[in-house]
Chains A and B, each alone.
Chain A
Amino acid sequence: MLGEAIIKGMAVTAKNFFGSYVSKERLPTVQYPEERLVPKENARQFPFLVYDGDDWEKGLRCVSCQICEKECPPKCIYIIKSKDKKPDYKGQAQFYPARFDIDISVCMSCGICAEVCPFESIKMDTEFELSTGDRFGGLLLPKEKLAKSNEHYRKVHPTDAAASDAVLAAEIAKAEAKAKAAAEAKVKADAEKKPA
């Protein structure tokens, strides 16, 4: 019969239309600023720099190795290495970034920087409401704005943060064991020296 399939098609439409009053499945629209979807745990937007403790300048994990700058596909990271050194989380003297800028108008949120970083210091944030009227200065983030605490990282990516904390704890344990071994060796060497 001519038009049979059209009637069938309209039945499907009607089912969806009236169904949307009954079943939540058929009502997928979310009224954004008032209602919000729960963000996915793995969601990534723009990078940030992790710091430990309260003082961001002291606790910044970045040692300015510039691997992320090299690997960044759109080349949106700009780093100047410091002349002097400061102690890192293990107490070891390391360089720190004298300047660390990310142009998030260029950044394409790929997450390569977080992946290649060997020091667990650059991670992806989930914040997305970053619109600004100042399209040049407002989107070029210096390290003051990029630095966020480890607590923030634990809040946005709990699973990844736990893994990264474990890596750092292992590193600290290793460094302590090494220092202890070195100290013991020194004591032993001293003890051996004394009789002679």
Chain B
Amino acid sequence: MSAVAGANPRNFELLPKGDANGGELLEISMGPHHPSTHGVFRMDVVLDGEKVVKLKPVFGYLHRNHEKIAEGTSYLASMPYTDRLDYFCSMTNNWAYALSVEKLAGLTVPERAEYIRVIMAELTRVLNHICLIGFFVQDMGALGTPLMYAFRERERILDLFEELTGARMMCNYLRFGGVRCDVSESWLKRAGEEVVKLESFMDEFEQLVAQNEIVMARTQGIGVLPRELAINASITGPMLRASGVNYDVRKVDKYGIYDRFEFKIPLGEHGDLYDRYMIRVLEMRESVKILKQALRDIPDGPIMDSKAKLRGFRPKPGEAYGRIESPKGELGFYLISDGSPNPYRYRVRPPSFINLTILEDMCLGQRVADAVIILGSVDIVLGEVDR
């Protein structure tokens, strides 16, 4: 962190006097190389004493031209690039992209493949929330231990992914009209065992963190996101639900086969940091419920639509928007096809980018140390924000 008053060299105006002890306001550039910013992200903060009076999020350091590259390659070749958007949740990114292409080309997905997709998406949700909670506690100063526990569990889920798809994080597993390879009986059995283990881990982790006095003091009543603002700023995902809005694309759209599973949508009441933390804990438990149902009910059958083509895939001209509930919020892909092998327009609606826009509103009047946890609770991945 560099603490330079008036960090902008082109603007030599002295900052106005602050309220605290008659001192001056201080402009701090937090990031881009700062462990609490979860990647290359910069917050331009103006401080009055320790209070945040202005905050400007600056991003684009990890811009990789994803959308333009996708317009130049075939539909299939964009699939591995979507893994690298939100690199914690490659499976859900794949799903959102596959969903919009399936809409565009009019492909249907066989039953078994739908179940496999649900299993993968829910495992991804659990692993994303596990990581998020680990980082969140670390941002509050619990260095190491809880994060290592979280990563231990994450590694177990990643082992499952690696066994099936060949890669831990960049799975590249879903295909248009199905999935790439079938799951074996032994894999399903192992997944069932891991799911049971996840439950006991959640109990252990909750004992470690949830009732902790320091956690409660640091999170309750801090970084409140009012319900109206959350709706107006089109926030989605756990952030929105922590503010008490009942909106989950899994329930609203019922994409895939989500109407067959019994699960609840946890809702917050206050919209503060503690609610956002608890929403994620409860969502993990609901995900485990879905996983158990899906692993129990998965039928036999084909895993690919017979109409799906691997080589020479050209959907007819048209447009489609496919959206899913990714662990971070509503993830959508908008595609326009002109009948050629590559999309005419390719656009991603990234949840963490849009959730980041209200960072200033949540941070104003809070301490600078709280700004770090507020950013952590937004759950951003810079690969997705900058694309």
Contact = CB atoms under 8 A, between A and B. Distances in A.
Contacts of B76: 71, 112, 116
Contact of A5 (B165, B181, B211): B211
Given A13-B208, A44-B166, A5 B213 contact: yes
Contacts of B167: 43-44, 109
Contact of B311 (A6, A73, A116): A116
B80 interface: yes
Contacts of A71: 74, 76-77, 311
B170 interface: yes
B80 A9 contact: no
A16 B149 contact: yes
* Interface band, chain A: 20 to 34
Given A9-B208, A9-B209, A67-B311, A112 B163 contact: no
B347 interface: no
B212 to A, nearest CB: 5
B162 A40 contact: yes
A3 interface: yes
Contacts of B258: none
Contacts of B166: 40, 42-44, 111, 124
Contact of A115 (B84, B162, B310): B310
A9 B163 CA distance: 33
A179 to B, nearest CB: 27
Nearest to A1: B213
Contacts of B310: 115-116
A123 to B, nearest CB: 12
Contacts of B164: 42
A14 to B, nearest CB: 11
A182 interface: no
Contacts of A43: 162, 166-167
B172 interface: yes
Contacts of B73: 73
Given A44-B166, A115-B310, A5 B155 contact: no
A12 interface: yes
B311 A3 contact: no
A73 B163 contact: no
B180 to A, nearest CB: 7
Interface residues of B, number: 35
B80 A73 contact: yes
B207 A108 contact: no
A13 B145 contact: yes
Contacts of A44: 166-167
Nearest to B211: A5
Interface in A28-52: 28, 40-44
Contacts of A5: 211-213
A177 to B, nearest CB: 26
Interface in B259-312: 310-311
Given A43-B166, A115-B180, A12 B207 contact: yes
Contact of A70 (B74, B155, B207, B209): B74
A168 interface: no
A22 interface: no
B338 interface: no
Interface in A61-104: 67, 70-73
Interface string A107-143: 0111110011010000010000000000000000000
A102 to B, nearest CB: 16
B63 interface: no
A189 interface: no
A8 B207 contact: yes
A88 to B, nearest CB: 19
A2 interface: yes
B128 interface: no
B214 interface: yes
B77 A6 contact: no
Contacts of B17: none
A12 B210 CA distance: 13
A73 B214 contact: no
Nearest to A73: B77
A145 to B, nearest CB: 22
B170 A108 contact: yes
17 contacts: A4-B211, A5-B213, A6-B212, A6-B214, A8-B211, A12-B204, A16-B149, A40-B162, A40-B163, A42-B163, A44-B166, A71-B311, A72-B77, A73-B73, A73-B81, A110-B170, A112-B80
Interface of A: 2-6, 8-9, 12-13, 16, 28, 40-44, 67, 70-73, 108-112, 115-116, 118, 124
Interface of B: 73-74, 76-81, 83-84, 145, 149, 152, 155, 159, 162-167, 170, 172, 180-181, 204, 207-209, 211-214, 310-311
Task: List the 8 closest A-B pairs by CB distance, nearest first.
Answer: A110-B80, A42-B166, A5-B211, A44-B166, A73-B77, A5-B212, A9-B208, A12-B208
